[in-house]
Amino acid sequence: MKEMLLWKLKTAGIGVWLGISAGIIAFVCMIMGATGKALLDNTGFGADIIIFVIVGMLLSFAAFFLRFDFWQLIPTLFYSLAFGSVINGGAAVIMDKINNVVYSGGDFNSVVIYLVLFGISCILSIVACFMRPSRQTKSEAIA
């Protein structure tokens, strides 16, 4: 078992590592949102965002063990859904800031941080879709 895990670590391609890093960034953002300021004053961070991030993160870590060429598309879908939910929930706060009124409430700085971190997570996951899930060994490169 230990040898298999070491072999998986050794042969993991950059696509797998980008997917895992996207999952870690999304998870950190989810923890910040769930324990910190809500998107709007009268709502929580959103159970949908939490579910999307947890499922996407688990699927990203599953890509470490399941090396399919298009596996990274599935976590990308969940990170994109979480990013869309943040955009949908944070749009009112951004409009309040632009129009200089307080209608929805919420913290503009938190919304921007959530948008940037989820955006980075989505971009990393999309880039991982175009990378190999495993490294090419020397014998495969010669053949």
Q: How many domains does the chain have?
A: 1
CA–CA dist 75, 64 (Å, integer):
12
pLDDT at 138: 56
Q: E strands within the chain?
A: none
Q: In this structure, is residue 7 part of a structural domain?
A: no
pLDDT of the residue at 70: 80
- Residue 46's pLDDT band, with cuts at 50, 70 and 90, is confident
Q: Is residue 67 part of a domain?
A: yes
What's the pLDDT tens digit per position in 111-142? 888 899 999 999 999 998 888 767 665 555 55
Q: How confident is the model at residue 37 (pLDDT cuts 50, 70, 90)?
A: low
Does a structural domain hold residue 142? no
- Residues 6 or more apart whose Cβ sits within 8 Å of residue 59: 71, 74, 75, 78
CA atoms within 13 A on the CB side of 112: 7
In a domain, 143, yes or no: no
Does the pLDDT of residue 143 top 60, yes or no? no
**Residue range(s) defining the domain that contains residue 60:** 12-134
Per-residue confidence (pLDDT) for residue 16, from 0 to 100: 81
Question: Residue range 44-73: average pLDDT?
Answer: 83
pTM: 0.81
